[in-house]
Structure 1
Amino acid sequence: MTFGDEDDHRAPPARPQSLMFSFLGVYVLGRGVAVYSGSIIDVFARLGVSEEAVRSTLARMAKRNLLLRHRRGRKVYFGLTPHAVNVLEDGRRRIWETGAVNRAWDGTWTLVGFSLPDSRRSTRHDLRSRLIWAGFGLLQSGLWIAPGTKDVIGVLDSLDLGDHVTVLTARAFKPTETADLVRKAFDIEQIARRYQAFLAQWDTPRPLPSAPDDLARQLLLHTDWLQLVRQDPYLPAEHLPRNWPAIRAEQVFRSLAGEYEPSAAEVAEGVLDLLSPR
């Protein structure tokens, strides 16, 4: 595969909850404020999200202990729970600190091996889904690997695996080659296609000309990028193609994020009704 191909791989549209996480991460996280539901509806109307979808998303997130309701008269404001702060801080670190390209890999791998009976097929499915989300790839039957030292306690938490799982850190030794581990355990072409979809959307002279303003562009950009890097296993750069599209994609994201921020903040200031809960 040539990773510089200009195929127009379009990213799927963002779900309201994904957009909500971006909105909360940019305009609520670290500010000690709650936001009036009506002004959230106004913001999301710019993104083509209906009032019904916004209210449903807010209700679900409150039920999942991500949002707190604050009533002032007839108005309802939504603020962050400690759980939401942790989730959003993780996203912030992934965007601004970890980045999309792993240039500081120390040669270690985290290995997770498990063997579950057929009676626990549902648990096996849940574990596999969590490992993929955490950046692990399937090397061979029952053995998953991820670059670096991973804290897998959160991945395994609540699954009650007991002696059915083993977690180790290791390094590759001859005849095993790191490049072979990357190739066997991870779908490099699929990862590349995701970055190409991002570039097809955003690496243009005028991205999203139909968006009403830079606030809408900012939230769509952040949502697309966070979804992208959360699906990236963060493989070591030295074992990826030299023209790996994540490099260009990260440059585009950072450039556009800086470009949109002043205008988006000005629009948000005029739209958002904020409350400082006591």
Structure 2
Amino acid sequence: MRPRSLVFTLFGDYFRYCGDGEVPLRGLSDVMQLFDVEPATTRVVMSRLRADGWFETRRDGRLTTYVLSGKAWQLLDEGRERIFRHVSGDWSGQWTLIATRAGDRSARDEVRKRLTWLGFGQLQPAIWVAPGDRLAAARELMDAHGVGSDVFLSRSGDLGRDRSIAARGWDLDALDALYGTFVERHDGNAPTVSDRDALVARVRLTDEYRRFPFTDPDLPAALLPPGWNAPRAHEVFVQRHGDLRERATAAIEQLTGLTVRGAHRAFLDGGAVGFTREG
């Protein structure tokens, strides 16, 4: 697990619910050592994340505390909704299409990452597609990065063609296999022995599952292959994440001296609830 990814997982599940989204560097280092990250590495990672605008610092004597920036709050809010919300419901048959034009390469690379996060698939090098009406988000993204494009809504008028578009836009077989592997690895896991074991297990679980929103466009059920493993994987994740919560939170509080507020119960009936600074 990369230290940078580990930091965001820890803030997403725990430290965002401490004070104003904060943790002393000393306490964070103690937690990171459970994952074989040395304090010197933690200091370097946090310094770089601060330079990139993800964190601010507060000093109290010799104690340095890292606090989430507004940019980081937005990232965690978006990510948490994508992780805990799982919807593959009805669909109107409408697609959002983006045809990009030549432009700055670095801007196109950044747009490619963001389009994937927004649930778009690439049909051809300059053609992106997503089910439903995502015009506003697509146009905002293109304008923000100065990438020339035509964005519009379209229908194929044929479910067979729609399924063909989905199969070409995303590698659904590979994604389904990853979901299946996740279920096999985590379904029915035995309880862990200690609070710290629970913390390590829960962080690794979340870090593994949080990668799915970057590759899964959450397609409507009509476009998915039979026996799609994602719903079961989501159930397993939510169940296991909840089972480990109390002991993992106890470990965080023991290691840092912080109090983690109860707002991190992240789901009701399988859906996301509001996640603001107040929880």
Per the alignment, in what secondary structure is the counterpart of residue 16 of structure 2?
coil
- What letter is aligned with 2:178? R
- Alignment partner, residue 105 of structure 1: 91
Change in 2 beyond 3 A, CA 1:197/1:140: same
* Equivalent pair of 2:116/2:214 in contact (CA under 8 Å): no
Which of 51, 75, 88 does residue 87 from structure 1 map onto?
Answer: 75
Find out whether 1:40 has 2:24 as its counterpart. no
Q: CA offset at residue 198 of structure 1?
A: 2.3
For 1:16-95, what aligned pairs fall within 5 Å after superposition?
16-31=3-18, 32-95=20-83
Per the alignment, in what secondary structure is the counterpart of residue 29 of structure 1?
helix
Q: How many residues align?
A: 256
- Alignment partner, residue 138 of structure 2: 152
Which of 197, 203, 216 does residue 219 from structure 1 map onto?
Answer: 203
Per the alignment, in what secondary structure is the counterpart of residue 46 of structure 1?
helix
- Alignment partner, residue 267 of structure 2: none
- Alignment partner, residue 273 of structure 2: none
Change in 2 beyond 3 A, CA 1:234/1:19: same
For 1:132-151, what aligned pairs fall within 5 Å after superposition?
132-150=116-134, 151=137
- Alignment partner, residue 116 of structure 1: 102
In structure 1, distance between residues paired with 2:129 and 2:59? 47
- What letter is aligned with 1:145? V
In structure 2, distance between residues paired with 1:15 and 1:208? 23
Change in 2 beyond 3 A, CA 1:177/1:17: same
In structure 2, distance between residues paired with 1:124 and 1:71? 39
- What letter is aligned with 1:255? Q
Change in 2 beyond 3 A, CA 1:129/1:254: closer
* Equivalent pair of 2:107/2:145 in contact (CA under 8 Å): yes
* Equivalent pair of 1:62/1:68 in contact (CA under 8 Å): yes
* Equivalent pair of 2:11/2:21 in contact (CA under 8 Å): no
The one-character-per-residue Cα deviations of 1:219-260 (angstroms, maximum 9, x if unpaired) are 111111111223211111222123111122111101101100
* Equivalent pair of 1:135/1:233 in contact (CA under 8 Å): yes
Q: CA offset at residue 73 of structure 1?
A: 1.1
The one-character-per-residue Cα deviations of 1:60-80 (angstroms, maximum 9, x if unpaired) are 211111111111111111111
* Equivalent pair of 1:36/1:273 in contact (CA under 8 Å): no
Per the alignment, in what secondary structure is the counterpart of residue 243 of structure 1?
coil
Could you tell me which runs of 5 or more consecutive residues in structure 1 were left unpaired when the two chains were aligned.
1-13
Compute the TM-score of the two structures, normalised by the length of structure 1.
Answer: 0.82
In structure 2, distance between residues paired with 1:156 and 1:207? 47
For 1:188-207, what aligned pairs fall within 5 Å after superposition?
188-206=172-190
In structure 1, distance between residues paired with 2:150 and 2:232? 37
* Equivalent pair of 1:35/1:273 in contact (CA under 8 Å): no
Find out whether 1:179 has 2:189 as its counterpart. no
- What letter is aligned with 1:59? S
Q: CA offset at residue 176 of structure 1?
A: 6.5
Find out whether 1:15 has 2:7 as its counterpart. no
Q: CA offset at residue 144 of structure 1?
A: 0.9
Once superposed, what is the RMSD of the aligned Cα atoms? 2.6
Per the alignment, in what secondary structure is the counterpart of residue 200 of structure 2?
helix
- What letter is aligned with 1:15? R
Per the alignment, in what secondary structure is the counterpart of residue 225 of structure 2?
coil
Change in 2 beyond 3 A, CA 1:210/1:260: closer
Q: CA offset at residue 155 of structure 1?
A: 3.1
In structure 1, distance between residues paired with 2:122 and 2:235? 30
* Equivalent pair of 2:196/2:247 in contact (CA under 8 Å): no
* Equivalent pair of 2:96/2:133 in contact (CA under 8 Å): yes
